[in-house]
Amino acid sequence: MQIIVRGARLATEGGGTAPGTYDVECEGGRIARVLPADDQKEPPATGRVIEAHGALLTPPFVEPHIHLDTALTAGEPRWNASGTLWEGIACWSERKRTLTREDVVSRATEVLRWQAAQGVLHVRTHCDTTDPELTALDALLEVRDRVRDVLDLQVTAFPQEGVHSFPGGAELLAEAVARGVDAVGAIPHYEDTREDGVASLHTVFALAERHGLRIDAHCDETDDEQSRFVEVLAALALRSGLRDRVTASHTTAMGSYNGSYAHRLQGLLVRSGIGLVCNPFANLNLQGRFDDHPKRRGLTRVKELLGAGCPVAFGHDDVMDPWNPLGTGNPLQTVLAGVYAAQLTGPEEIDTAFSMVTDRAARVLGLGEGYGLVAGRPANFLLLPADSPFDAVRRQVAPRYVVSRGRVLAETPYAPARLYWPGEDPEPVDFVRRRDADSAHWRRLPF
Ligand code: 17E
Ligand code: FE2
């Protein structure tokens, strides 16, 4: 059925809202028209009309970095007691031996359903290829096909235990590529030697170039300020011409580099055009574990990279696995963590943080014309009961409607708390400031 949204505020690229309100009309699963709102116009006889009452219409959330193969395995067979990346990898290595295809399909699908219900319609997952059977890889490729009508899933072949330091690691990565992944990954800081780490990146670029794939490397996910593989990744991206088809994930060591080196590196990152993903939950949890006080935050230089014009996104990374025991896959929680961890607390910075799980993340994933509130593009969007991205982040609202391919895929009733303050009539509380309450017309959104 054709959907028409009337009278919505529009989220703009890069954060913020456009002046005025708009009508958005869909046809055949695509956005047909985006026009200034017109209440005089008769709604069409067929189709479903959603009166937005000034609520915020935004392109869907984009999850630029998640591990769907490891999701929902926390505590199996044991919990990550030290909280380090390295013990997490060891826990997962034990769990990996018991994987079946059904096990991975069912956990990955469950988390994708959680994400879809919360408005995530584009996901890039990593999938461990250091398994001689490639069980998880086959499972996630199957999931990618099964969910195709609802959301876009990119699968990255991720050699969790190394390309050159794991027996057969390079062959397994090549086999994963042959089975049809979207992107190739690496983990240079985990390889036995610096030389192995550099060699692994050359291997990955050779594969990506031969098969026309993107690259997304876990890179320098350590507090070791000597871990300097992102310069290699960026230089190869520049020289190969792959440029914005390359992503550097985590890059937490950048938070420990000296200013002189960081300055030089930043220039190379800008020239290379690569995107970066910061995963605040995982790295606030994993990093700093070998520090006494003062303890490092252990995140990449988000504010500086944004300031230099690099495409930077926020990812969730884990949902209930050895690297993060919590999580529901909610991108607004990721943003909230990122705002504090990266100190993006100015009003424009909070809008920017929202864009790091919407259009900035779309840019990192290379979604191009497959994303955005523009006529001709797929009719994928969210109606948020909020005035602005800032407001959505602060009040952590759930999307009233999630529209995918022109149909309502999920809805969350707008349900404020009810306060029975002594001596007063019961009152709804939704954390809108009393002085702004009269202008919050979206409170009239239908249930
Ligand atoms: N594997 C890894 O190397 N780093 C991570 N943050 C996760 C898995 C979640
Ligand atoms: Fe990761």
Summarised one tens digit per residue, pLDDT across range 279-338 is 999 999 999 999 999 999 999 999 999 999 999 999 999 999 999 999 999 999 999 999
Per DSSP (E only), the strands in 147-254 are 152-158, 183-184, 214-219, 246-250
User: What is the average pLDDT score of the chain?
Assistant: 97
How far away, in angstroms, is 292 Cα from ligand 2 center?
25
| 318 Cβ closer than 6 Å to some ligand 1 atom | yes
Length of the chain: 447
| 160 Cβ closer than 6 Å to some ligand 1 atom | yes
Question: Which ligand gives the minimal distance to the CA of 125?
Answer: 2
Give me 78's structure tokens.
């044991």
Q: Kindly list the catalytic residues.
A: 221
Give me 91's structure tokens.
């826990």
How far away, in angstroms, is 14 Cα from ligand 1 center?
28
pLDDT > 80? residue 182: yes
Q: Whose CA is nearest to atom 3 of ligand 1?
A: 160
Dist CA 160 CA 157 (whole Å) = 9
Q: Domain residues of the chain, as ranges? A: 3-59+372-411, 61-369
| CB of 118 closer than 8 Å to CB of 399 | yes
Atom of ligand 1 nearest to the CA of 317: 9
| 67 Cβ closer than 6 Å to some ligand 1 atom | yes
Q: 3-59+372-411, what's its fold? A: Urease, subunit C; domain 1 (2.30.40)
Q: Does the bond joining 311 to the residue before it have cis omega, within 30 degrees of 0? A: no
| 218 Cβ closer than 6 Å to some ligand 1 atom | yes
How far away, in angstroms, is 281 Cα from ligand 2 center?
11
Residues in CB range of 241: below 8 A, 6 or more apart? none
| 85 Cβ closer than 6 Å to some ligand 1 atom | yes
Task: Identify the CATH number of the domain defined by range 61-369.
Answer: 3.20.20.140
How far away, in angstroms, is 208 Cα from ligand 1 center?
21
The pLDDT value given to residue 447: 72
pLDDT grade for 421, boundaries at 50, 70 and 90: very high
- Our measurement of the distance from residue 419's CA atom to the centroid of its chain's CA atoms, rounded to an integer in Å, reads 35
pLDDT > 90? residue 55: yes
Mean pLDDT of 185-210: 98
Atom of ligand 1 nearest to the CA of 318: 9
Question: Which ligand gives the minimal distance to the CA of 93?
Answer: 1
Mean pLDDT of 66-89: 98
Which residue in this structure is represented by tokens 């072949």? 157
- Considering only residues 41 and 116, tell me which one the structure prediction assigns the higher pLDDT: 116
| 316 Cβ closer than 6 Å to some ligand 1 atom | no
pLDDT grade for 40, boundaries at 50, 70 and 90: confident
pLDDT > 90? residue 44: no
| 282 Cβ closer than 6 Å to some ligand 1 atom | yes
How far away, in angstroms, is 172 Cα from ligand 1 center?
19
Q: Which of 37-51, 79-93, 150-164, 307-321 has the lowest mean pLDDT?
A: 37-51
pLDDT grade for 46, boundaries at 50, 70 and 90: confident
Residues in CB range of 438: below 8 A, 6 or more apart? none
Q: Whose CA is nearest to atom 4 of ligand 1?
A: 85
The pLDDT value given to residue 1: 63
Residues in CB range of 193: below 8 A, 6 or more apart? none
Atom of ligand 1 nearest to the CA of 218: 3
Torsion of CA 79, 82, 88, 91, to 10 degrees: -50
| 154: β partners | 124
